[in-house]
Amino acid sequence: MSKVKAIEFVEPGSTQITKTGAWRTFVPRIDQKKCIKCSLCEIYCPESSVHQVKDPKSGDLIFDIDLDYCKGCGICEHECPRHAIKLELEEK
Amino acid sequence: MQNLLAPGHRACAGCSMPTIVRLILDAAGPNTIVVSPTSCLEVTTTPFPESAWCVPWLHSLFENAAAVASGVEIALKRFHKEANVLVIGGDGSTFDIGMGSNSGMFERGHKVTYICYDNEAYMNTGVQRSGSTPFCAHTTTTPSGEISLGNPRPKKDMPAIALAHRVPYVATASVAYPVDLRRKVKKAIETQGPSYIQVNAPCITGWTFEAGNTVEIARLAVETGLWPLFEYVNGQLMEVKKVRRPKPVEDYLKSQGRYRHLFKKPGGTEVLKQIQAIADANISKYCLVD
Amino acid sequence: MMKVVEGSYAVAHAAMCCSPDVVSAYPITPQTHIVEHLSQMVADGELSAEFLTVDSEFSALSVLVGASAMGARCYSSTTSQGLALMYEVLYNVSGLRMPVVMTVANRALGAPLNIWNDQQDSVGARDVGWLQLYTENVQEAVDTTPQAYKIAEDMGILTPIMVCMDGFILTHVYEPVELLDKDKVAGFLPAFKPEYVLDPANPKTIGAFADPSTYTEFRYLQFDAQQKALAKIEAVAKEFQETFGRTFGGLIDTYQTDDADIVMVTMGSVIGTIKDAIDEMRAEGIKVGLVKVRSYRPFPVQALRKALKDAGVIAVIEKDVSIGNEAGLVTDLKAAFYNSKIRTPIIGFTAGLGGRDITVKDIRKITEKASAARKGIESEFEFLNLRTEILP
């Protein structure tokens, strides 16, 4: 537990310690073959959990979801113009 | 897109608010100081000892965000420093309890960009009616019941109030039009004086809809004419987002539980006509259709 | 150099000498002249602060929350209804540990509406976490202003402070005052350098909400800071005396208490009247004295026990009433004595409410009642000069 100081200054971005991925019931999966890299999923994600990363296999830039924080809301599935994202019931 | 709002915040899954804030901060950049009133935003992003904010951020109280932001802005001037000063707050504090404070800030001409994320009720405390709640929406303090069809009052026209204060930049925006929102925030922060942007922010918990539909519902609000996207510069209407074929208001209303009673109860049909009239009036006033 | 000036001007001048960065205030009788004088000083280039004419007292103090968070030295002034309106922000400022200095031109609270002096406003706000110093005359109000900044801005204290002066009686009086010298004040009062401010180069979040697991500790740290302020108030008063050659006491002050049998205890400008009354009675051989409470918060328990331990009877006179239980100062004093060995009878009087005059005759009447109380307390607390003839 961090100590209380007289004045409550809090460090920027410190909510990252809380992994809201634990809230999830449904998990999104991106079909990279359908993805046109429009980045709408990245723009709309409330958890800033969609990122452009390098695919370890192909070296291409792909969109990936940070499952530490994704709450499984489904906005990305809904907004993807190519229906490349599907939410599935997550096995825990 | 730069991420100045970290994940791990406690907003509901699918809440439009964090997306709106991310877009605002992407447009404003790291040289920004944010003041927020008590709100869903404040509570979900700053549970001690955590904070989602990657820019300096100050909680005001409920009714004084504009006054506190005035103090930040005046101190920047005093110390010959420059930074964007934003208020990001909800409709409860903007439309109601903060009216006096807002009026003072607008009238004194501070260079503060006031952005209201408008989810049309006091959501943080459990969906009570605010001055921003639209006609006949169900809230816990204007519930639909045996003899009630929900909120009996029309939505307060906050942009008109800002315009009456001669706020040099006044605009509406929507989470469903992110490019437009970013552009408007950039324009607002460049304005030499106060600015006011009201962003439509659908709320899953308060409006009752499936989490993934957030952006779609915001889009429908614009496409029906109920949430016109416009821009006033120095009191002149400059830009509107045209709506090619306006959808009937039912498409928007039936997507949310807070209007469900209008499709079931006697008198509901009459209300639907009145809400369509509101949309038609917007379409006419802002020339939304070519 | 002594100058005959209005009390409000003298205090505004003192605030100006402290070089505040941001001044934000809303007009309310009887504080208005302070705000007007500050405005004139700004207009004439005498005061280089950013001065905001705001839309309400709530906004006035809220502006200072934002400015103080940026590292600005802040000043405001209010009274009565205005202090009541900003009540929520008072807690916010003290909780955020912002060293704002605010002159309170003490005035009665409505209803019934009343613009004249009493101390209900600040005494009623004794729990909000602000330090409170009560001044007996204009010179003290002037001198206490830079002292207030020095105490409040101490890194171990960082607590906002109210400098209380009786409305009209001290704000609107014209008397000879030694105005402060700005350069001398600059030497006495170092620049304000807070540890963290709102700064995009080093972003921090200020004002996160604290749940049950941490809230108590934040409150405790404030409580602890006020305890530290006890010594600081004394030290700063001493330092001021060394620099400027004047003092009106630290936590308390005493007048003719050495051999006093009857001792009065009070705060504020009525001290002048009481001193006159004491001089008169002493000439007649009545052993009467006065203890002035200068610091009401933190309450100087040890200092009061020491000053009053030999009194035969104590009479507390105050311009406030705690409706439901006597009044603020007398109940605080009785509580301070309960666990000590002091068993002196204490009686309380509320007087001067709503601006009603307190005269030398009234003080003599109190002394007589106190004297009678030695044989047994008939009335623990009373409204002095209650006009029973106009009661139903």
- Model confidence over B49-87: pLDDT tens digits? 999 999 999 999 999 999 999 999 999 999 999 999 999
pLDDT tens for each residue of B232-248: 999 999 999 999 899 99
- Residue-level pLDDT at A5: 75
- Residue-level pLDDT at A1: 54
pTM: 0.93
Looking at the DSSP bridge assignments, the partners of residue C23 are C51, C75
Q: Name chain A contacts of C196, Cβ cutoff 8 Å.
A: 7, 9
Domain coordinates in residue numbering, chain A: 29-89
**Per-residue pLDDT averaged across B246-271, rounded?**
96
Shortest Cα distance from B60 to chain C (angstroms)? 7
**From the list A1, A6, A8, which residue is nearest C208 (CB)?**
A8
| Residue numbers in chain C where pLDDT is lower than 70 | none
Shortest Cα distance from B78 to chain C (angstroms)? 7
**Per-residue pLDDT averaged across B23-37, rounded?**
98
- Residue-level pLDDT at A2: 60
Domains of chain C: 2-244 (3.40.50.970), 252-390 (3.40.50.920)
- CATH architecture of structural domain A29-89: 2-Layer Sandwich (3.30)
Domain coordinates in residue numbering, chain B: 16-285
Count Cβ neighbours within 10 Å for each residue of C265-295 and write b for 16 or more, e otherwise: bbbbbbbebbbebbeebeeeebbbbbbbbbb
Q: Tell me how far apart the alpha carbons of residues C148 and C164 are, in angstroms, rounded to a whole number.
A: 11
Shortest Cα distance from B161 to chain A (angstroms)? 30
Residue B287 region by backbone torsions, left for phi larger than 0, else alpha for psi between -120 and 50, else beta: left
Asked if C77 contacts C145 with a C-beta cutoff of 8 angstroms, the reply is no
Distances (CA, A) of B273 to A63, B263, B268, B280, C164: 44, 12, 9, 10, 61
- Residue-level pLDDT at A4: 73
Q: Determine whether the interchain pair B213/A13 forms a contact, defined as Cβ–Cβ distance below 8 Å.
A: no
Residue A37 region by backbone torsions, left for phi larger than 0, else alpha for psi between -120 and 50, else beta: left
- Residue-level pLDDT at A65: 96
- Residue-level pLDDT at C386: 96
Q: Any idea which residue has 């552009």 for tokens? A: B183
What's the N-to-C CA distance of chain B in angstroms? 33
**Per-residue pLDDT averaged across B115-141, rounded?**
96
Q: Name chain C contacts of A11, Cβ cutoff 8 Å.
A: 204-205
3 state DSSP class of C292:
strand
| Residue numbers in chain A where pLDDT is lower than 70 | 1-3
Domain B16-285: top CATH class: alpha beta
Q: Determine whether the interchain pair B9/A20 forms a contact, defined as Cβ–Cβ distance below 8 Å.
A: yes
Q: Give the pLDDT band (50/70/90) at residue B18.
A: very high
- Residue-level pLDDT at B1: 82
- Residue-level pLDDT at C1: 74
Interface residue of A1, A2, A3, A9 to substitute, partner C, most C CBs within 10 Å: A9
